[in-house]
Amino acid sequence: MKTFFSEKHRLHFPQAELSGGEFVTPFERPSRAEYILNRLRERGFDAPVAPDEADRKPILELHDAGYVSFLETAWDEWKAAGFAGEIMPTAFPARRMQARCPDHIDGKVGYYALACETAMTAGTWEAALSSCASAQSAQKHVASGARAAFALCRPPGHHAAIDMYGGYCFINNAAVAAQMFIDGGAAHVAVLDIDFHHGNGTQDIFYDRGDVFFASLHGQPEDAFPYFLGYSDETGAGGGAGTTANYPMPPGTRYDVWSQALDDAIARTAKFGAEALVISLGVDAFKEDPISFFKLTCEDFTDCGRRIGTLGLPTVFCMEGGYAIEAVGINTVNVLEGFLGA
């Protein structure tokens, strides 16, 4: 399985994240990628390949043009306004307020942010674009006939909605890969999100579309970020009615329960007639993850990959979360090896 990866991810490294009422080193940090690369090397995977330049066309098919422009220019506007620190939102269009985009950058940030834990820096846009480029190159490799490819995306993407960033995500890499399969002629594509946190951005993008089936296994929104989406009764709307499947699960969920949800999502993917599959590969369902509450073991991730592999579909893996740093490489590669052994 070929891995696509850009060293430009290092350009995005905010020095602070708001967590538990204090500023901490972000859980989503460059060293995550290093642990994954080291494990790929240890397990005999080929050296990663740098992606081609990002194609903005599929990005703009899914994301609002004003939002993409904001991401590209936010840092320059922030500095021009005289702000010395990293970009963080200070106000949001809350209930009964106007949802109009302000002219001032401080207001724009709050308009486009869905949460305030995700800071932006001088290199964030270039890193996000290079992350999406990895997903795009992985998709093109699979569309050309490969069984599967791994896009080691950083920053991740599944929380990035049509016109909002947050949860460490700016461009929805998995959604872009799915869209490229559609643009290439596939009638039906599935996105399976196994990250602990709900893939709110992917759901937002495809919720009213009938050509993409989206399934997410995640911590129930009553207890887990992003809190305000991911209930089981969210099943799609309009032309997408029935093409969204949410599997919210409570604190302490173990693999015997989690895997039942996975099997149901796999069965529904097959019934949907998906011609290609995109996996939002988060491994923060791990029992020792610092910001999650499921109880999966390293061995469980191998079996998860095996079950996904039984679908026999052309598959693109896009890296998402996983914050137990010393285990993130083991768990990520376990999924890939389980898939290859299916």
SS (H, E, C) the chain: CEEECCHHHHHCCCCCEEECCEEECCCCCCHHHHHHHHHHHHCCCCCCECCCCCCHHHHHHHCCHHHHHHHHHHHHHHHHCCCCCCECCCCCCCCCCCCCCCCCHHHHHHHHECCCCCCECCCHHHHHHHHHHHHHHHHHHHHCCCCEEEECCCCCCCCCCCCCEECCECCCHHHHHHHHHHHCCCCCEEEEECCCCCCHHHHHHHCCCCCEEEEEEEECCCCCCCCCCCCCCCCCCHHHCCCEEEEEECCCCCHHHHHHHHHHHHHHHHHHCCCEEEEEECCCCECCCCCCCCCECHHHHHHHHHHHHCCCCCEEEEECCCCCHHHHHHHHHHHHHHHHCC
Contact 57, 68 (CB under 8 A): no
The pLDDT of residue 220 is 98
Distance CA 144, CA 99 (A): 43
- Going by pLDDT thresholds of 50, 70 and 90, the confidence category of residue 327 is very high
* Separation of alpha carbons 87 and 192, rounded Å: 31
Side-chain half-sphere exposure of 220, counting CA atoms within 13 A? 9
Beta-carbon count within 10 A of 49 CB: 16
Q: How confident is the model at residue 342 (pLDDT cuts 50, 70, 90)?
A: confident
Report yes or no: 200 and 230 within 8 Å, Cβ to Cβ: yes
Nearest to 131 by CA among 320, 335, 282, 297: 320
Chain segment 12-21, per-residue pLDDT in tens: 999 999 999 9
pLDDT at 133: 98
- What share of the chain in percent tops pLDDT 90? 100
pLDDT of residue 44: 98
pLDDT grade for 181, boundaries at 50, 70 and 90: very high
Mean pLDDT in residue range 22-45: 97
Q: Mean of the pLDDT values across residues 46-65?
A: 98
**Residues belonging to the active site:** 159
Give the per-residue pLDDT at 30.
97
pLDDT in tens, 118-142: 999 999 999 999 999 999 999 999 9
Task: Give per-residue pLDDT as tens, 64-86.
Answer: 999 999 999 999 999 999 999 99
> Residue 117 corresponds to which amino acid?
E
Q: What is the pLDDT of residue 23?
A: 93
The pLDDT of residue 107 is: 98
